[in-house]
Amino acid sequence: MLSAITGNGWALLGAALAATLAGCGSAWGVGLAGQAASGVVTEDPSKFAKVLVIQLLPGTQGIYGLLVAFVTLSRFGLLGGGGTELSVETGLMVLAACLPIAIVGLISAYHQGKTAVAAIGVVAKKPDQFGKAMLFPAMVETYAILALLISILAVTSIPV
């Protein structure tokens, strides 16, 4: 069954996983933070802008996954059709190149969402500590950025 998958099929799977898993992680993380933010805004609507900024932080992983998917699809001529047929080996390399942002995007967005919940708790009690509270979820972002970098470097270094 797996031998029937073409190189283009493997490459498409890689692009799909990059966008889907990172996007799912972002939805999960933003949802967690949104639940906490809603509670804070119910008690004090003046904190809306601060908690909204923190809530949005886990959303970047989905953007990173989408970026890797677009780079992958355009690099190998799979966007809009008309691309050349990739060998199975090349397709598997593309799949492997997309996995860092797919996996790290999923996991880091979830954990960034949990960290954002805690940061929102800080803002709820001490709004003047917003800058410090932002640093905690921003630290998780570092690993998503590293995964984005690795995936883009890997995808763009695969010979066509």
Spatial separation of the C-alpha atoms in residues 29 and 119, rounded to whole Å: 13
Fold that domain 2-157 belongs to in CATH? Four Helix Bundle (Hemerythrin (Met), subunit A) (1.20.120)
Q: 20-71, pLDDT tens digit by residue?
A: 999 999 999 999 999 999 999 999 999 999 999 999 999 999 999 999 999 9
pLDDT at 1: 67
- Judge residue 42's burial from the number of C-beta atoms within 10 Å of its C-beta, 0-12 exposed, 13-18 middle, 19 or more buried: exposed
Spatial separation of the C-alpha atoms in residues 144 and 146, rounded to whole Å: 5
